[in-house]
Structure 1
C-alpha cells in the first residue's frame, strides 16, 4: 500500500471517529433537551447514523451477492462495518485529491463536496430516504455539518501525517 493511500485511510478513520463523536453528542443533546434517554429517540436525527445505512448496504449486497442480513444482530454488524469501512476507505480519496490538486484548500473543498453529493445521492437511490429537497432544514443542516466535520478532520489528519512522513 502506498504511503499516500495508507495516509488517506488513516485520515478516513480519524474523520469517521470525529463524525461518530459529533453525531453521538448531537443525539445526547437532543435527548437531554427532551428529557429522555438517547436510546429512546425514535425520529431520525441523521441519515448517516440511521438504519438507512443498512438499507443502502443491504440493497447493494442483495444485488451483487444475492444475500442481505436479516437478523437485528447481522444488521447491526453491517452498520458498523459500512460506517467504519466506508468512512475509512473514502479518506484515501482526499489523499489523492491533495496530491492531484496541489494541496489545500482545493483538495478539502472538493473532498467535502464529493462526500456531501454522495450522501445526498446514495441515500435516496439505495437507502430508502426521500430525495434531499424533502429532508427538511434540520436533516440537511445535520448532513452538511457532519460531512464538514468528517472532511475537515480527514484533511487535517492527512496534512499532519504528510508532514510527519516528510
Structure 2
C-alpha cells in the first residue's frame, strides 16, 4: 500500500520538481548560448548580429505565444522591446521550472528511470511541437526546417535529462535523511 502524502510532502515534492525544472532550463539555456556562439563564429559575426532563428524555444516565438495567451486571458501583452524581453525571461524560467514538477509526478506514477525521464521528454517535446504552432505563430512541426526540428529534440533532451537527473538525485538525498 502506498504511503499517503501530506501537504508538507506535496510541497516538498513540488519544490523538488521546480528545482529540477530550473536546472533543466539552465542547461537548455547554456546549450542555446553555446549554439549561438558557434553559429556566430562559423559565420564571422557577433552573437547580437544573428538574424536567423536557431531554436524556437530561444526566439521571439516564446514571446508571441505568451503574449497571445496574455491577451486572451487578461487583455494585455507587452508592447515595448524591454517588456517583451522581460516576458521572455519570465516565461523561459517560470514555465521551464514549473514544468519540471511534472517529472516528479511521472517518477512517482511510473516508479523508476528511465521510463519517467523518457515520458517527461516526450511530453516536453509534444508541448513544444503543439504550443508553438497554436500560440507562437510557427508553422506546424511537419513544416519546420529540419535543423529547427533537430534542435528542438536535442534541446528538450538536454532539458528532460537534466530534470530527471536532478530530481532523481534530490529524491535520493531526501531518502538518506
Indicate the TM-score class for this superposition, using the shorter chain for normalisation: over 0.9
Consecutive unaligned residues in structure 2, runs of 5 or more:
1-9
Q: Could you say which residue in structure 2 is the equivalent of 1:155?
A: 164
Paired residues, what number?
Answer: 166
Map of 1:68-107 to 2, 5 A cutoff?
68-107=77-116
Q: Could you say which residue in structure 1 is the equivalent of 2:6?
A: none
Where has structure 1 moved over 4 Å in runs of 4 or more?
none
Give distance in 2, aligned partners of 1:164 and 1:124: 40
Q: Offset at 1:2?
A: 1.9
Q: Offset at 1:103?
A: 1.5
Superposition RMSD in Å: 0.7
Map of 1:8-157 to 2, 5 A cutoff?
8-157=17-166
TM-score, with structure 1 as normaliser: 0.99
Consecutive unaligned residues in structure 1, runs of 5 or more:
none
Give distance in 1, aligned partners of 2:171 and 2:57: 28
Give distance in 2, aligned partners of 1:52 and 1:128: 7
Greater C-alpha radius of gyration: 2
Secondary structure of the 2:166 match is helix
